[in-house]
Amino acid sequence: MAEPVITSPHAESKRPFFTEQRRSRITAYTFISPFFILFSIFGLYPIFFTFYLSFFKWDALGPMKYVGFKNFELITTDPTFWISFSNTLIMGLMGTVPQVMLALLLAVLLHSGMTRFKKTFRILYFMPNITSIVAVTLVFSTLFGNNGMINWLLNGIGVESMAFNSGWWGVKIAISTMVMWRWTGYNAILFLSGLQSIPMDLYESAKIDGANRRQQLFFITLPLLKPFIIFVSLQSTIGALQLFTEPYVFLGQSGTGSTRQEGITMVTYLYSEAFRNGFFGTAAATAVLLFLVTILFSVLNMLISRGGGRQTGGKKA
Amino acid sequence: MSTLRMFRKKPDDLGFFGKLGFYLLLILGALVSIFPFYWMFVVGTNDKGAVFHVPPLLTIGDQFFENFKRVLDKSDFFQALGNSLFVSSMVTVSVVFFCTLAGYAFAKYEFPGKNVLFVFVIATLIVPQQLGVLPTYVIMAKLHWIDSFKALIVPAMVNAFGIFWMRQYISSAVPTELIEAGRIDGGGHFRIFWRIAVPVITPAMATLGILNFMTVWNDFFWPLVVLKNKEHFTIQIALQQLFTTRDGLDYGMIMSATFTATLPLLVVFLLFSRWVIAGLTSGAIKS
């Protein structure tokens, strides 16, 4: 393993160029500086400014007016905000939970020694993830049309057609399906690499101790896969809370339709407050609330994953 | 070896029907993954009414050029494709250069605050983009960069994932002795980076380049916020603009455009799939 150039006093005395320590430090700082400069301007400063902005009334042009917590009051008394909030959670749940479970199942199938063409399957499962969300949404809007293929299939198994592009649940099902399609394979590949990192001899010795396949699953595979499960569910949760492009494109056919209540999300609400209505203050307040919700759900996610691990008898891997 | 053993052992546990179900599930998953791509092409090559044909039409038609002609009437499709190509290339060249440089510094140099700074870089990965979008928009307005490619390129010129990815790779791929030898021979810092490190790490740089290109190419939210005029639209915005009910949804046209816009990335992915998958999944595996 290659170690970094060590500059502890002990090592310095051995190094012929230790007098250049200063120069080498300056070089290092120069090499990493582009990121820190750009991030301060376009990352850090905007984040702080968002918090600041959430206490002002501003249209992005005129003077800013301090209003205290008025913006938060305004949005929390706006029914549309709460619809966007619940939509985000509902679609998040519908898109994420089955997705993670399906991904886990696919990964286990792919990992099984029986599977041939593993590489081909991996590529095929990954393909949805490289497609742009706009393209995904456009394709699925044809499948979810009133006379589209999904309704045809539903009719085929004796279920009535659903209004996927206007119904309260229809829209949510359609959008969650798009999210699932794009991410299930990706997560399955992640889980697969997790499974591949579990040493085979663990299973061998478990078999010698007489563990059956279910016991192997619950006492070896799942506990050791836990870091991956935590990562995937965390990433999916954060992604779900930022849902924007799918509903925006799917419902936006007639220009203003993307704020339709069946599919409005928190980010759509933020976007339309700022860039349609010019209310930068309330939009900033929305961003702050979105951030708090994100933190809340990330923590919850960690807690649930931890608890789940204890139940199956898994300690820290 | 162990897979071979498993291969012999498992089928007798599952039995014929178990095995059949096993493969059916895997193949069903694969079909669901690729069907929308095929469907894109089916709709794009058939006439307007084909999309809602009962039973669904599954054969490729011959109307592609007819459909695509209407795309060209309705949008500056190739202009948008060119814009996306320009923006994505500029960002990618810059990201690969600056991230490699920073990753190299984090992997091979020792300096005060190194670990704290690196943790900071990683921490920026979890901050949602939307948190800073309003002030960033205001900055762009102040700089008069609204509706210009600068607004898309400059903030994206270097990113945390790239630094992380390059650091991981450089740590193990570039021998420190080689760098030290270069120093003893009196090579300048940048010269050593360019002549000794870069040739060894081109595979990682290529992967980062492909990943970054795809991300920028597929981006929608930020271009939607800052681009105003048709002639500056990126391909994703142009596609979204085609999707209007103004004169009835012309799915043949929309899908011929979508397919054309998706194809280049699909080809790149299939050519470099191993690298792309490794790159896109590395965040989870290495953390």
Q: What is the mean pLDDT of residues A179-203?
A: 91
How large is the greatest C-alpha to C-alpha distance in chain B, in angstroms?
75
Tokens of A69: 């917590």
Q: What is the mean pLDDT of residues B55-77?
A: 90
Provide, as residue numbers in chain B, all residues whose Cβ is less than 8 Å from the Cβ of A128.
Answer: 33, 36
Q: Is residue A77's pLDDT more than 90?
A: yes
Residue to mutate among B5, B16, B17, B33, with most A CBs inside 10 A, is: B33
pLDDT of residue A128: 94
Judge contact between A100 and A184, C-beta under 8 A: no
Residue to mutate among B2, B39, B110, with most A CBs inside 10 A, is: B110
pLDDT of residue B50: 80
Tokens of B188: 């300048």
Provide, as residue numbers in chain B, all residues whose Cβ is less than 8 Å from the Cβ of A277.
Answer: none
Phi, psi of B277 (to 5 degrees): -65, -45
* Residue A74 to residue B167: CA distance in whole angstroms: 46
In this prediction, residue A287 has a pLDDT band, given cuts at 50, 70 and 90, of very high
Distance of CA B122 to the CA centre of its chain: 19
Q: Is residue B249's pLDDT more than 90?
A: no
Task: Say whether A135 and B40 touch across the interface (CB within 8 A).
Answer: yes
Q: Is residue A230's pLDDT more than 50?
A: yes
Q: What is the mean pLDDT of residues A112-134?
A: 88
In this prediction, residue A218 has a pLDDT band, given cuts at 50, 70 and 90, of confident
Q: Lowest-confidence range among A32-36, A308-312, B214-218?
A: A308-312
Task: Say whether A50 and B244 touch across the interface (CB within 8 A).
Answer: no
Task: Please tell me which residue, A140 or B22, carries the higher pLDDT value.
Answer: A140
Establish if A291 touches chain B: CB-CB under 8 angstroms: yes
CA nearest to B192, candidates A258, A17, A37, A192: A17
pLDDT of residue B244: 78
Helix (H) or strand (E) holding B189: helix B189-192
| Distance in Å, alpha carbon of B245 to nearest chain A alpha carbon | 6
pTM for this structure?
Answer: 0.86
DSSP character at residue A6:
P
Tokens of B112: 């005060």
CA nearest to A38, candidates B146, B111, B136: B136
Judge contact between A268 and A260, C-beta under 8 A: no
Tokens of B239: 């596609």
In this prediction, residue B49 has a pLDDT band, given cuts at 50, 70 and 90, of confident
Q: Give chain B's mean pLDDT.
A: 88
pLDDT of residue B219: 95
* Residue B43 to residue A260: CA distance in whole angstroms: 27
What percent of chain A has a predicted confidence (pLDDT) above 90? 56
pLDDT of residue B148: 95
| Distance in Å, alpha carbon of A97 to nearest chain B alpha carbon | 17
* Residue B24 to residue B33: CA distance in whole angstroms: 14
Establish if B125 touches chain A: CB-CB under 8 angstroms: no
Start-to-end Cα distance in chain B: 28
pLDDT of residue A257: 54
CA nearest to B272, candidates B232, B194, B213: B213
CA–CA distance from A255 to each of A243, A258, B189 (Å)?
19, 7, 54
* Residue A118 to residue B161: CA distance in whole angstroms: 28
Q: Is residue A182's pLDDT more than 50?
A: yes
Give the position of tokens 């043949």. B252
Task: Please tell me which residue, A217 or A55, carries the higher pLDDT value.
Answer: A55
Give the position of tokens 């210009």. B148
pLDDT of residue A314: 39
pLDDT of residue B246: 66
* Residue A135 to residue A147: CA distance in whole angstroms: 20
Task: Say whether B158 and A38 touch across the interface (CB within 8 A).
Answer: yes
DSSP character at residue A56:
E
| Closest CB to A123 among B163, B193, B273 | B273
Q: Tell me the H-state helices in chain A.
A: 9-14, 21-39, 45-53, 70-76, 79-111, 118-130, 133-143, 149-156, 168-196, 200-208, 213-216, 222-241, 245-251, 266-275, 280-311
What percent of chain B has a predicted confidence (pLDDT) above 70? 92
Q: What is the mean pLDDT of residues A53-75?
A: 93
ipTM of the complex: 0.88
Q: What is the mean pLDDT of residues A161-165?
A: 87
**pLDDT, tens digit, for every residue of B151-201?**
999 999 999 999 999 999 999 899 998 888 888 888 889 999 999 999 999
**pLDDT, tens digit, for every residue of A236-271?**
888 999 999 999 999 876 555 567 788 899 999 999
pLDDT of residue B283: 58
Instruction: Kindly tell me the sign of the dihedral angle through the C-alpha atoms of A161, A165, A171, A175.
Output: positive
**pLDDT, tens digit, for every residue of B189-224?**
999 999 999 999 998 999 999 999 999 999 999 999
Task: Say whether A35 and B251 touch across the interface (CB within 8 A).
Answer: no
SS3 A253: coil
Burial grade of B241 (CB within 10 A; 0-12, 13-18, 19 or more): middle
| Distance in Å, alpha carbon of B76 to nearest chain A alpha carbon | 17
SS3 A208: helix
| Vertex A112 angle, CA B211 and A229, to 5° | 55
Residue to mutate among A35, A183, A207, A236, with most B CBs inside 10 A, is: A35
Provide, as residue numbers in chain B, all residues whose Cβ is less than 8 Å from the Cβ of A274.
Answer: 133-134, 137
Establish if B28 touches chain A: CB-CB under 8 angstroms: no
Burial grade of B53 (CB within 10 A; 0-12, 13-18, 19 or more): middle
Provide, as residue numbers in chain A, all residues whose Cβ is less than 8 Å from the Cβ of B214.
Answer: 130
Q: What is the mean pLDDT of residues A7-21?
A: 54
